[in-house]
Structure 1
Amino acid sequence: MHPSSDPSGVLDHIGPGTQLIVPLANGEPTATMDAIEAHAGDLTDVRVHQMHAIHDRPYLRGEFGDRLKHISYFLSHVTRPQFANGHVGLVPAHFSEVYGIMRSRTEDPLVLAAASPPDQHGYFSLGVSADYTSSFIGRARFFLEVTDDMPRTFGRNQLHVTQVVGWCRSDRPLVSVPPATSSDIDRAIAGYIAERVPDESTIQTGIGAIPNAIMSALQDHRDLGVHTELLSDGVVDLIERGVVNGVRKELNRTKTVGTFALGTDRLHDFLADNPAIELWPVRYVNNPAIIGRERNFISINATLSVDFLGQCASETIDGRYYSSSGGQNDFARGAMNSPGGQGFVVLHSTTSSGQSRIVPRLAPGDVVTTPKNTVDKVVTEYGVAELRGRSVRERTRALISVAHPDHRSELSEQAHRMGYI
């Protein structure tokens, strides 16, 4: 099975108005995208639909005008400034619904994806990505870029050589994302959560300093399961210690399930040909109805600001877009429906400049990601505010109790003026 073309072969399948679907993060076929940009002058109204791009590109900066433009479903450090500059579009969406929205916005899309080499049966694996892309298998045209660095993974992210319009090879390595270093504040937050996680729970968490601290704090737990959108290096640690084995899960028993992976080469090596790990489409993994079928489901997500009602603004800062909804609301709703489930929203009590992240009202223009009726527990380094089923007065007092001590007096005065306490 030889490659059908070099990366420029993709141009044979792109015409005026073609809608391109690209996986997030390391699922992006970089040499193929290079070839498209090299011939951008020949394109007309081509659009790229993608979440969380990690490769900076000229077209993201608007250098090709309307010939080639980007539509984002979750801003990254690369696309955030270009959205602010007006070069990138943004579609707010829950991660579980991104495939459905992409499908409704596109007609005869072409999916461009990085993949592992075909196996002896002629099947490619989409490797570190299933996300929204795998749901297009059998429903859209595919052009793949094979790299030896892409691990072959299991789950619902394989397609046969007869299902692609073309494929090429490149030697592009995957981007390695090292684990963030956890601080004392992160470890304090992790401790509050770990003591509330029963053995035999199924957990979801992300990437970053607080999630890393939480993974470390769970190392003495038993028989945990993982059902999460993002697989990171911290999951590897728990599996190798025997903490995560999935034997008590209701769904996909004994399997660790995610929809994409982002981490170091150690993670990539661990995923390669590992039947204990499965990557499933995000419309399954993040489906609140699926999540709610697990017993004692533990959802852990970060936010940027919480008001007295419990509204969590997780995608904007001072009214300016920073990311997007992602899967936070998906998992918060799923945990709410899980027997014994708990939804944790975590944040430092203050910003780096010392401003309180617990606020009377969200800033003008801030977007609510997890609404007040869904939020369960808000955790800072000062404790856990339990909000589910609580009155406005009870919520306000609980949140002030986990705010930074330097701000509690002022917050209390404002709460009195608002009539909340």
Structure 2
Amino acid sequence: MRIVTLDEAVATLKSGDRLYVHGGSATPHVLIDGMVVLRDDLRGVEVVHMHTNGPAPYVAPEMEGRFRHNALFIGPNVRRAIEEGRADYTPVFLSEIPSLFAPGGPLPLDVAFIQVTPPDEHGRCSLGVSVDCALAAASHAKTVVAQVNRQMPRTSGHSLSLDDIDLAIEIDEPLPESEHEAPGPEATAIGGHVAGLIEDGATLQMGIGAIPAAVLNALTGHRDLGVHTEMFTEALLPLLRSGVVNGARKTINAGKTVSAFVVGNRELYGYLDRNERIALRPVDYTNNVDVIAAHDRMVAINSALSVDLTGQVVADSIGPRFYSGIGGQVDFIRGAARSRGGLPIIALPSTAKGGTLSRICPDLISGSGVVTTRGDVHWVVTEFGARNLFGKTIRERASMLIEIAHPAFREGLHESAGKLGYLGRRAN
């Protein structure tokens, strides 16, 4: 690793290169800003990443022709550029992203911009709060440029040697913090229903948002829970500190909370620093279906935009408009389904748009993409209850889903289900 100036660091980029940018709270904003400001000569650079926290100046309209973003998961900061056709979206399971960068993969990397800790006494750097696909990017990119940050928490479960990094700049800046939605009445009700399904000793996967936070809030009376997930936020901290989450009964990685990345606040980052009970691993491990399934009582809690009456789950698009990404939902739904005593759960509010639209719908909006198929779906939970669709007929599924739809829409859903023939003889 050679310490250089910002000018020297971004000078490694060439027109036509494919650049990986470290994501989440590890987004290397100094390198990004340097690239945009100092390299106005660049043309046709493809910028590849999952979601990033903070500004994404390379997707601004005036950057067209200089940079084009390729999203492996669509975050709010790039959504408009994708909607307007100024950026691209590659649908992919989270577990398979590292294979995109590997030799012979479809997205070989010329340069990787990453953010790491200073080297320890053994000359090893940590990727801190975001290992996910950054480890693969750093392993396979032709040139690795690191933003070495004294304020990046050192996390266990992975490391890079100084030989893995070609160029580096040194900074001392706090990581971006994320504000997460507090659970309201609907999310709290959903959290209670989900928590009621979870046994002591279970291992959890959860995402980000009000519903996962509500589930965690409802688990304070449980015992010996574990965590094997792709990500978590500061909503997990009370359970970690109280010992409710201790990993004591985990089938593998006992005593460890395992994740691929973490987003949250300064309190969470401080908790992670040099905490050997937390292990951050790459997504081809955390999201590997076989690894997930090896956990007994694996509980996968994932969200959705809508579910139709046959059990098809829409999670990455609103009609033809791409909204987020496939992410790790299918990895964990399938892994939990194969786990001994596992619970694959889709949790969603019953309505959208201020209660004017039912998320439980007779059929999908034209152009909607199915992330979790009707063959993969098991538990569906709204604020009105939980139903297990696995092994149920279409007729049974339609009836069960109508039972947990918002009461204002149940009559209309029943009528539509009859016309579609889902409740027996097709209505005229």
Post-superposition CA distance 1:30-51 (Å, at most 9, x none): 1111111123322232211101
Counterpart residue number, 1:331: 332
Tell me the secondary structure at the aligned position of residue 14 of structure 2. Answer: coil
Return the offset for 1:162.
2.2
Cα distance in structure 1, aligned partners of 2:288 and 2:22: 19
Q: Give the residue type in structure 1 aligned to 2:370.
A: V
Unpaired runs of 5+ residues, structure 2, are 424-428
After TM superposition, list the pairs within 5 Å mapping 1:167-206 onto structure 2: 167-206=168-207
Post-superposition CA distance 1:103-150 (Å, at most 9, x none): 423335321111112112221111001011112444333211011221
Return the offset for 1:58.
3.0
Counterpart residue number, 1:55: 54
Q: Is the 8 A contact 1:7 1:145 kept in 2?
A: no
Counterpart residue number, 1:222: 223
Q: Percent identity?
A: 36
Does residue 403 of the first structure (1) align with residue 405 of the second (2)? Answer: yes
Tell me the secondary structure at the aligned position of residue 16 of structure 2. Answer: coil
Unpaired runs of 5+ residues, structure 1, are none
Cα distance in structure 1, aligned partners of 2:124 and 2:37: 30
Which structure 1 residue ranges, 4+ long, deviate > 6 Å from structure 2? none
Cα distance in structure 1, aligned partners of 2:285 and 2:176: 26
Post-superposition CA distance 1:352-411 (Å, at most 9, x none): 332111000010011111110001111001001210111000100000000011111111
Q: Is the 8 A contact 2:54 2:176 kept in 1?
A: no
Cα distance in structure 2, aligned partners of 1:144 and 1:63: 27
Match among 415, 418, 421 for residue 416 of structure 1: 418
Q: Give the residue type in structure 1 aligned to 2:264.
A: G
Post-superposition CA distance 1:175-233 (Å, at most 9, x none): 11133211111111111111110111100001111111100111111111100001211
State which drifts further: 357-366 or 35-44. Answer: 35-44
Q: Give the residue type in structure 2 aligned to 1:355.
A: L
State which drifts further: 50-59 or 334-343. Answer: 50-59
Q: Give the residue type in structure 2 aligned to 1:31.
A: V
After TM superposition, list the pairs within 5 Å mapping 1:144-293 onto structure 2: 144-156=146-158, 158-293=159-294
Cα distance in structure 2, aligned partners of 1:251 and 1:9: 44
Q: Is the 8 A contact 1:147 1:170 kept in 2?
A: yes
Counterpart residue number, 2:426: none
- Give RMSD over aligned pairs: 1.5
Tell me the secondary structure at the aligned position of residue 195 of structure 1. Answer: helix
Cα distance in structure 2, aligned partners of 1:411 and 1:51: 37
Counterpart residue number, 1:356: 358
Cα distance in structure 1, aligned partners of 2:410 and 2:386: 15
Return the offset for 1:6.
2.0
Cα distance in structure 1, aligned partners of 2:17 and 2:34: 15
Cα distance in structure 1, aligned partners of 2:14 and 2:201: 52
Tell me the secondary structure at the aligned position of residue 240 of structure 1. Answer: helix
Return the offset for 1:172.
3.2
Q: Is the 8 A contact 1:49 1:102 kept in 2?
A: no
Q: Is the 8 A contact 1:230 1:259 kept in 2?
A: yes
Does residue 375 of the first structure (1) align with residue 377 of the second (2)? Answer: yes
Q: Is the 8 A contact 2:101 2:136 kept in 1?
A: no
TM-score (normalizing by structure 1): 0.96
State which drifts further: 5-14 or 378-387. Answer: 5-14
Return the offset for 1:101.
2.2
After TM superposition, list the pairs within 5 Å mapping 1:38-117 onto structure 2: 38-103=37-102, 104-117=105-118
Q: Give the residue type in structure 1 aligned to 2:4.
A: S
Tell me the secondary structure at the aligned position of residue 25 of structure 2. Answer: helix
Post-superposition CA distance 1:72-116 (Å, at most 9, x none): 111111111111111111101111111212442333532111111
State which drifts further: 237-246 or 132-141. Answer: 132-141
TM-score (normalizing by structure 2): 0.95
Cα distance in structure 1, aligned partners of 2:196 and 2:63: 53
State which drifts further: 303-312 or 161-170. Answer: 161-170
